[in-house]
Structure 1
Amino acid sequence: MHLIWLRTDLRLHDNTALAAASQRGQVAAIYLITPEQWLAHDDAPCKVDFWLRNVQHLSLALGKLNIPLLIRHAATWDQAPAVLSELCRELSVKSVHVNEEYGIHESQRDAAVAQALEADGVTFHSYLDQLFFQPGSVLTKTGTYFQVFSQFRKVCYNRLHSALPRLVATPKAQAKLELKSDSVPTMVQGFEPPSETLRALWPAGEDEARRRLDAFADQQISYYKDERDFPAKPGTSQLSAYLAAGVVSPRQCLHAALQTNQGEFESGDIGAITWINELLWREFYKHILVGYPRVSRHRAFRPETEALAWRDAPADLAAWQQARTGLPIIDAAMRQLLETGWMHNRLRMVVAMFLTKNLLIDWREGERFFMRHLIDGDLAANNGGWQWSSSTGTDSAPYFRIFSPLSQSEKFDSDGVFIKRWLPELAALNKKEVHNPAAAGGLFGVADYPRAMVDLKQSRERALAAFRSLPSRLEMAGHE
């Protein structure tokens, strides 16, 4: 008997570890419920619910191949070695197969499990699956991890030209086992289930992920570059939650995009090229996680920015979290997050820059709040995005480039369609006033909408001053 331990790879198709385990003989699958670990990692209740719903779908799909899915409980990952060792003894398991995950805790967990199993004579095999390239294989000429995306992308392009990652064959049905699948819990203590409205936005299962991918590749991908920045338009693939949970693989995404673009990723359809770039950004941030472990430890990628004098302003942070900033584009974006578990990518940058620059609040507060609410929360991408916006990360926005929420709003939601969708109290304003109700005249602007909480010009100056007073990178070099 061989075991596949499923984590963020909740799919039957194009699953490297599952295919490898199946080739060795009879297979059972295991999924661990680890509530205290999820809480420690700030996983959102809607994300945990999405995982469990996908595990249920996968259990049915595996059942058709006579592969039983077992559910075991371990409060934290520290307990994983003991739980898996016990299961392997119980079932006389010869080998355990996993798809690699990245991040310090994930690596430590897998090393501890491998050690415990090997002490019992069970072999542990891990496979490259959620990335195109093994971290550590895409390096600069001096042998270090890239810190700039455009240079990383160039090397990836060269590799993809010579060796496109292949899709992995789906296992065939095996002979029936005596073992029965366990029922998948629908709820986990400590995680309030989301509303049915939110669930309905994110149906579980590979069929849904595939439907979204096919629909995007067939109808939308060509317009992706032009429409992805407009939150009122359906310009994005809506696949991020499925990618984060591994219900669809990056290889499947890459192949679908290449198919629409005659196999090209550097010429042809600009929409397809732009979307493939986004897959490579995802790749880049996971490589950063491995190459620079400090980002897994809540540290700034650029050490000199650790000295920034962030403001301790709980009331301002709460206003941002609760969509009460008085800046419509910020509040509309935050309501979208709170109600749907997702936020449009352009707006993630806008609200992150507002929190870290205009409010001068530590990016870690925003990163944590996003993780606690995002259905597609992913440590590498979320950390990468927050550190980019706050000018503390790789390839980050120069500290003096600060998005103005008003100009972003006027540019990307010019008619206020997105704003009015999430802030119906502003529905009566015309398309000029809706971006800045306070300027609409009247003593208090719109009766039930707050005044802007900061003066954008003054708060911008405050941020610039805080960044200018940082020690230079050279001065910091001796303190790393």
Structure 2
Amino acid sequence: MTTAILWFRRDLRLDDNPALQAALRAHERLLPVYIHAPDEAAPWQPGAASRWWLHHSLTALQAQLRARGVELQLARGDSLAVLRDLLRTSGAEAVYWNRQYEPAAIARDTRIKQALREDGCAAHSFNASLFVEPWDIRTGQGGPYRVFTPYWRNARAQLQPRPGAAAPARITPCSVNARHAVADLALLPRIAWDAGLRESWRPGAAGAAEALEDFCAGALRGYREQRDWPAQAGTSRLSPHLHFGEISPAQILWKLEETGRDAGAAWREAAEPFLRELGWRDFSHHLLYHFPHTPLQNLNPQFDAFPWREPDAQQLQAWQRGRTGIPIVDAGLRELWHTGWMHNRVRMLVASFLCKNLRLHWLHGARWFWDTLVDADLANNTQGWQWTAGSGADAAPYFRIFNPVTQGERFDPDGAYVRRWLPELAGQGFKSIHSPWREPALLARSGYPQPLVDLAASREEALAAYQAMRSMG
């Protein structure tokens, strides 16, 4: 009987898992392994919220595998060394895995694939997390896309809904002594700050399937109109499940296809904006693959000369903890701190305030999001921050500066979102919950801070800085 090693990474599911299916087609026995090697992702090792999610997702995957008769091996250390040791002790002939697209992961996987093949071991990798591989889609001139709309037009035409292969009912194991338990990976916080995460999420493939089912049965029908309203449950909240591979874009596409057959044309039309948002996820990976320097450097080199302010530690901490004095910005940052997630419309407002009103480099925000988001994804995080800063592909012009007061009045008109996350303002009776500084007596009584900066003045200073940068180039 032949044996294969299945190397799990961020593909923590059994349904629609190409590497799993390929291994089972070619071999009788399977040795599944997860190797905890965070330093191999340097300088973007997983943040605290991501580690929390990973602990629970691995626990869920372990239970799924046990129900099918096989144990998930958990290991720590250098990935190549661990794989070589498992190959020796198990007698396996091949290693299968699903691809990752971050620069450090590509370099590691290329090195490992070459080393294993030189050892005489077969090594196979697959696409399990994107609609289209980053290298499989090009402009008419043969280069990478920098603008989303033509990218998505090309990619959308290639999408073919298909049912993914179901998880096997039984897997024949290869017996190797277990190395570690999930707890040994020390992923959970030493100080229990994670109560809000536990209240908000159900990591694992079952949680992902439940979230998709609920979304298709409910909020998807009004997604086009309601996705920008942070007080409403108008989005799918699938982003962390997608990041950890508990569900694939192909599974979501097939679910939309299946549901749309019975739901009718109006429902299918409502689903298209959501599918387009999944397209943005693919586009972010396309950009990261073709421009691997962008997690730390501007895509647009003109912004290398931008006069960012030196960060003031107290001011930056006030932003991080939701004490800027701008209610919808602070509500978003407190939602993030409590739940590990933030509504996408509010993410843009929070980022715009940091980059344009405080005029701090986007990396300060990208690093904070990286540590606190359960859906922290290098491609999406990089693209989102560079888009807001004006330095990335298809970016918002730098002079597009969100006014958080008017944005709050438009997308949180009754202040429900702000009142939920800023309880000190909830019962004060402000005429405008989004600009409490206009009522000094009530503001003083609430204990809520004055704004860190004047919105109008800081906007003008940001525009002047932008013009100064342009005059240099």
Q: Specify if TM > 0.5.
A: yes
Task: Provide the residue aligned with 1:159 in structure 2.
Answer: 158
Give SS of 1:470's match: helix
Structure 1 residue 172: deviation in Å? 4.3
Structure 1 residue 445: deviation in Å? 4.1
1:151 and 1:421, CA in 2 relative to 1: closer, same or farther beyond 3 A? Answer: same
Q: TM-score, normalised by structure 2?
A: 0.93
Partner amino acid for 2:170?
Answer: A
Structure 1 residue 237: deviation in Å? 0.8
Task: Provide the residue aligned with 1:304 in structure 2.
Answer: 302
Structure 1 residue 430: deviation in Å? 3.4
What per-residue deviation string (whole Å, max 9, x for no partner) do you get for residues 206-256 of structure 1?
Answer: 122111101111122111111111111011111111111111111111112
- List gaps (5 residues or longer) in structure 1: 476-480
How far apart in 2 are the matches of 1:383 and 1:331? 22
How far apart in 2 are the matches of 1:471 and 1:124? 49
Partner amino acid for 1:178?
Answer: S
What per-residue deviation string (whole Å, max 9, x for no partner) do you get for residues 83-102 of structure 1?
Answer: 21121112112111111100
Determine if contact 2:197/2:340 at 8 Å carries over to the other structure: yes
How far apart in 1 are the matches of 2:372 and 2:158? 36
What per-residue deviation string (whole Å, max 9, x for no partner) do you get for residues 190-209 of structure 1?
Answer: 86254233223112221221
Task: Provide the residue aligned with 1:478 in structure 2.
Answer: none
How far apart in 2 are the matches of 1:154 and 1:49? 37
Aligned residues, how many? 467
Of the structure 1 ranges 301-310 and 278-287, higher mean CA displacement relative to structure 2 is found in: 301-310
43, 46, 54: which one aligns with 1:43? 46
Task: Provide the residue aligned with 2:202 in structure 1.
Answer: 203
Determine if contact 1:56/1:184 at 8 Å carries over to the other structure: no
Partner amino acid for 2:392?
Answer: G
- RMSD between superposed Cα atoms in Å: 2.2
Of the structure 1 ranges 300-309 and 184-193, higher mean CA displacement relative to structure 2 is found in: 184-193
- List gaps (5 residues or longer) in structure 2: none
Structure 1 residue 166: deviation in Å? 4.9
Give SS of 1:339's match: helix
How far apart in 1 are the matches of 2:291 and 2:172? 45
How far apart in 2 are the matches of 1:280 and 1:350? 22
Structure 1 residue 459: deviation in Å? 0.5
Partner amino acid for 1:68?
Answer: E
How far apart in 1 are the matches of 2:150 and 2:7? 35
Q: TM-score, normalised by structure 1?
A: 0.92
How far apart in 1 are the matches of 2:366 and 2:118? 39
Partner amino acid for 1:211?
Answer: E
Determine if contact 2:14/2:166 at 8 Å carries over to the other structure: no
How far apart in 2 are the matches of 1:239 and 1:444? 37
Determine if contact 1:35/1:189 at 8 Å carries over to the other structure: no
13, 16, 35: which one aligns with 1:14? 16
Structure 1 residue 301: deviation in Å? 1.3
The answer to whether structure 1 residue 170 and structure 2 residue 167 are counterparts is yes
Task: Provide the residue aligned with 1:418 in structure 2.
Answer: 417
Give SS of 1:12's match: coil
Give SS of 2:433's match: helix
The answer to whether structure 1 residue 33 and structure 2 residue 36 are counterparts is yes
Give SS of 1:209's match: helix
Structure 1 residue 259: deviation in Å? 2.6
1:159 and 1:30, CA in 2 relative to 1: closer, same or farther beyond 3 A? Answer: same
How far apart in 1 are the matches of 2:302 and 2:43? 27
Structure 1 residue 185: deviation in Å? 2.2
Partner amino acid for 2:69?
Answer: N
Task: Provide the residue aligned with 1:406 in structure 2.
Answer: 405
Structure 1 residue 307: deviation in Å? 1.4
Determine if contact 1:2/1:94 at 8 Å carries over to the other structure: yes
Structure 1 residue 16: deviation in Å? 0.7
Give SS of 2:393's match: coil
How far apart in 2 are the matches of 1:70 and 1:461? 57
How far apart in 2 are the matches of 1:237 and 1:195? 22
How far apart in 2 are the matches of 1:221 and 1:444? 38
Determine if contact 1:45/1:192 at 8 Å carries over to the other structure: yes
Task: Provide the residue aligned with 2:449 in structure 1.
Answer: 450
Structure 1 residue 433: deviation in Å? 2.5
